[in-house]
Structure 1
Amino acid sequence: MRVLLLTQAFNSLSQRLWLELTEAGHEVAVEFDVNDAATRRAIDRVRPDLLLAPFLKRAIPTDVWRALPCLVVHPGPPGDKGPSALDRAVQEGAPEWGVTVVQAVAEMDAGPVWAHRRFPMRAATKSSLYRREVTEAAVSALTEALERFERGLGPALPDNGPEPMRPALPQAERAIDWGRMTTAEALARIRAADGMPGVRDELEGHAVWLHDAHPAQATGAPGALIGRGDEAILRATADGAVWIGQLRVTLPGEARTLKLPAVEALRLLGVALPPRVDRPGEPSKVEAERHGDIALIRFPFHNGAMNLGRCRALEAAIRQAAGGDARSILLTGGAEFWSNGIDLATIEASDSPAETSMELIEAIDDVCLALLEARDKWVVSLMRGNAGAGGVFMALAADEVLARDGVVLNPHYKNMGNLYGSEYWTYLLPRRLGHEGARAMMETRLPLSARGALKLGLIDGLIEADADAAEAEALSRLRARLDDPGFARDLAEKQARRDRDEAQKPLARYRAEELERMRLNFFGFDTSYHVARYNFITKVPKSRTPNYLARLVRTG
């Protein structure tokens, strides 16, 4: 079919559905929901058989849904209606939730139901549930809905039930009463607002929005800041405490708001920091474990962003594992993200974004170098969550690259102001795709599925499991490799290849050439990167749909 994907943003769900549709052989164009006139022009241009809306913040125009079947992906089970569906489910502690593919009619979320799926709720943030359970349920439900549509079977249910639409969840109902509420209640509210809009609160007279909350083993005067870690702050509740990893704040003397690691946000606001404490559960920490001959390293960084502290901690963990007696190193990132490269929010908040950009590129290059210099270990990257930009190329520094089926990769830099990129990609990518293949990939701006990456040769294997089970499967596969009689030969071949490559062109030269181009991006006359970064971090609304998304694409 010919499908128009109408969306507020090309987010994780929209990208996953775009990939599923194109790989199934449908012709798909994307249109950002900028205004009604733009939507109508896109329909005239594309002439779709169907309009699909995976992420909208306003109603589809009446004349559009009357003239064209429009299917909306609603993050709630049949009968649920309203813009804060998943927020309410998390805050109210629903034991299960779902996704409904509903046809657009005059009343929001009330039309015929083409398909639906249910899933048990995890104790997790709204964003985590959205990226994992909601996305998988949406893919499954949409597959059924499209099959029904193509076969002319019609909707599965005549309407989405008689229940009234519930309004958007206001900040008044999200607010935390720190003197009365328990850790569980505070967690539920912050987790329900994760991503956007956050929970509005106040610290030392400053308005802040709370994000990235985790339970903590500590006590104190309810509401008080009782400690801090590397990035997170510890705040007491009525019966315990929570770690708060991220704060969205308005910087002094500015109108813009930025979401930053909580400790850094308080520093910028001039708030006195509580004393450093060592308590389990602090978010965005590197985790190292030993599993027999395998050194396992997780790095569940918030949104997959790599700031200086995170890069240094990950590099140290890799070098410690490389210097030990383990025979292999397995890196599994986080369950939500593998890595999305340098931390743009930290750069945006710095006194010199150009200098900070350069500092972070050097730091993530050091992480890649640590992997490449682990010569007597078999290094495996497992991308359990989505990855983008330099994070994808960091994974390629391993000897073997695996990905969980369903992961979405964005192996390019161009969308961030035509960045050239580093992370030794000029060495790592041609090894897998050849020079022409590497050049073609670096010119693209489109996402790539894990299945597509395997087909291209960008990765070496797929694991069909959820994030937790994928790690266990990777450990099992790696143990089998270590026990294989051919392992010693494989390791020797790796070392010999690295020696040949180094003799032909040293890694230091690849890095110097890449950083020379990056320095032009950061300090040169072309400010495209700085404009793109500012627009991305401050969420400047799109004024139009980029041409690379608007054109019809079919890859199946």
Structure 2
Amino acid sequence: AELGGRRYCLFNAAAVGEQYGATPGTIVGRNLESIAIACGQGTLWIGYAATLDAKRGPKLPATMVVDAAGAPFLPLPEALAESTYRREGDIGYLTIRSYNGAMHTEQCRRLTAAVEKALTEDTRLLVLTGTEHAFSNGIHLGVIDAAPDPAAEAWANIGAIDDLCAAIASAEQVTMAAFSANAGAGGVMAALCADVTVSRDGVVLNPYYDMGIFGSELHTWTVAGRVGPERAASLLGDKLPISAAEAARIGLIQAVGPRDWSSFRYWLSAVAVGYNEPVSRGRMFAAKERRRAESRPLSYYRTIELAEMARDFFDDRHGFEAKRRAFLRKTAPTETPAKLRFA
């Protein structure tokens, strides 16, 4: 598209029927980092964009690329909403949405606020899940790379997603996280902060960090607590994906539901109702208290992780900058990594 005399590639789009009487191609509104563009018929909302000059620029939240200053606030279409919340009796369902699974600093802060608000509801169980096409892959490498100070942005991003994890882990209600689609790195670890973690069949998990960083998201507490220190070291060190079925077999998650999206949603509701039964809920509260009693304060694990991350971000001791840029620019490796070769 051409906007304001510049060419862009547009992504993460949602069309709505509202007309604002503007010339097609005019930015008529904004909400969070999304922008609304007048069309010949209706309005097109865009969540992400990239410049298209001699070559395509990085794909980033739209307002970080397109000048939308002065555009009025408009209601965001549900298709682009970062989170939606609904209640079914004593159970609350919070659905998070992140484009391609990446969550930048401000988005993490907004999602933390959404979790905290959901936890104030008069419910006994909170279910946190994603969309049919994405769950989460943790921090947003693209926004970090495009920042004036990437190390500072990475530090802010990891702090914000850690706040989200802490909100889930410290909840007084029983919490359940459901992998609705593939997840990696901090996205996997965030879900493991819940009391119960389940998954849709066919989902692939990457429960490790492979970008020259130690990782955070309370993973030093959650992974070993679920599968034991030896298997945790293997998952994090081998850096290989695992299926949802394998994750359930080793105890990383509790259960796997149907692959079909409609069937999975129905299954998830039934599982939540089961955990919300008085006897099951009592057992879950007892397990939650036991887990807390047997662990050190969450701040202990977070402090250790952030001390390592500070060295990775600011001292670049394991090549985070080069690995991040190679990943974002889809640079082909010079050889097949040893872990992927046949013996």
TM-score normalised by length of structure 2: 0.94
Which residue does 2:176 correspond to in 1? Answer: 380
Q: Is residue 2:73 matched to residue 1:276?
A: yes
Code of the aligned partner of 1:225: I
Shift of 1:396: 0.4
Shift of 1:531: 0.5
The structure whose Rg is larger is: 1
Q: Is residue 2:282 matched to residue 1:480?
A: no
Is the alpha carbon distance of 1:496 and 1:412 closer, same or farther for their aligned partners in structure 2, counting shifts above 3 Å?
closer
- Report Cα offsets for 1:156-195 as digits up to 9, x if no partner: xxxxxxxxxxxxxxxxxxxxxxxxxxxxxxxxxxxxxxxx
Shift of 1:493: 3.2
Is the alpha carbon distance of 1:233 and 1:477 closer, same or farther for their aligned partners in structure 2, counting shifts above 3 Å?
same
Query: Pick from 135, 145, 160: which aligns with 1:348?
Result: 145
Which residue does 1:228 correspond to in 2? Answer: 30
Query: Pick from 407, 417, 422: which aligns with 2:203?
Result: 407
Q: Residues of 2 paired with 1:205 and 1:239: CA distance? A: 21
Is the alpha carbon distance of 1:348 and 1:238 closer, same or farther for their aligned partners in structure 2, counting shifts above 3 Å?
same
Q: Residues of 2 paired with 1:279 and 1:423: CA distance? A: 29
Which residue does 1:125 correspond to in 2? Answer: none
Which residue does 2:292 correspond to in 1? Answer: 498
Query: Pick from 123, 126, 135: which aligns with 1:329?
Result: 126
- SS of the equivalent of 2:162 reads helix
CA contact (8 A) 1:225 1:236 kept: yes
Shift of 1:209: 0.5
Code of the aligned partner of 1:404: R
Which residue does 2:191 correspond to in 1? Answer: 395
Which residue does 2:314 correspond to in 1? Answer: 523
Is the alpha carbon distance of 1:287 and 1:519 closer, same or farther for their aligned partners in structure 2, counting shifts above 3 Å?
same
Identity of matched residues, %: 35
Shift of 1:429: 0.8
Code of the aligned partner of 1:265: V
Q: Is residue 2:306 matched to residue 1:511?
A: no
Shift of 1:327: 0.3
Q: Number of residues paired by the alignment?
A: 341
Query: Pick from 421, 428, 447: which aligns with 2:241?
Result: 447
Query: Pick from 95, 101, 104: which aligns with 1:298?
Result: 95
Query: Pick from 537, 540, 548: which aligns with 2:328?
Result: 537
Is the alpha carbon distance of 1:527 and 1:273 closer, same or farther for their aligned partners in structure 2, counting shifts above 3 Å?
farther
- Report Cα offsets for 1:250-291 as digits up to 9, x if no partner: 69xx97720001111125xxx645222114335152111111
Alignment of 1:238-249 (within 5 A): 238-249=40-51
Q: Residues of 1 paired with 2:232 and 2:316: CA distance? A: 27
Which residue does 2:66 correspond to in 1? Answer: 266
CA contact (8 A) 1:243 1:282 kept: no
Runs of 4+ in 1 over 6 A off after TM superposition: none
Q: Is residue 2:18 matched to residue 1:209?
A: no
Q: Residues of 2 paired with 1:250 and 1:362: CA distance? A: 32
Which residue does 1:428 correspond to in 2? Answer: 222
Q: Is residue 2:157 matched to residue 1:360?
A: yes
- SS of the equivalent of 1:511 reads helix
- Report Cα offsets for 1:351-381 as digits up to 9, x if no partner: 1110110111011100010011112x11111
Alignment of 1:54-73 (within 5 A): none
Q: Residues of 2 paired with 1:369 and 1:329: CA distance? A: 15
Code of the aligned partner of 2:94: I
TM-score normalised by length of structure 1: 0.59
Q: Is residue 2:19 matched to residue 1:219?
A: yes
Structure 2 unaligned spans of 5+: none
Is the alpha carbon distance of 1:488 and 1:359 closer, same or farther for their aligned partners in structure 2, counting shifts above 3 Å?
same
CA contact (8 A) 1:228 1:273 kept: no
- Report Cα offsets for 1:449-473 as digits up to 9, x if no partner: 1111111111110001323431221
Query: Which moves more between the two structures, 284-293 or 295-304?
Result: 284-293
Which residue does 2:85 correspond to in 1? Answer: 288
Alignment of 1:185-200 (within 5 A): none
Shift of 1:525: 4.8
Shift of 1:338: 1.1
Q: Residues of 2 paired with 1:486 and 1:280: CA distance? A: 38
- SS of the equivalent of 1:531 reads helix
Which residue does 1:313 correspond to in 2? Answer: 110
CA contact (8 A) 2:3 2:25 kept: no
Q: Residues of 2 paired with 1:516 and 1:364: CA distance? A: 16
Code of the aligned partner of 1:266: V
Code of the aligned partner of 2:13: A
Code of the aligned partner of 2:141: L
Code of the aligned partner of 1:297: L
Q: Residues of 2 paired with 1:389 and 1:355: CA distance? A: 20
Is the alpha carbon distance of 1:520 and 1:454 closer, same or farther for their aligned partners in structure 2, counting shifts above 3 Å?
same
Shift of 1:219: 0.9
Q: Is residue 2:263 matched to residue 1:469?
A: yes
- SS of the equivalent of 1:365 reads helix
Code of the aligned partner of 1:228: R
Q: Residues of 2 paired with 1:207 and 1:542: CA distance? A: 31
- SS of the equivalent of 2:229 reads helix
CA contact (8 A) 2:84 2:95 kept: yes
Structure 1 unaligned spans of 5+: 1-200
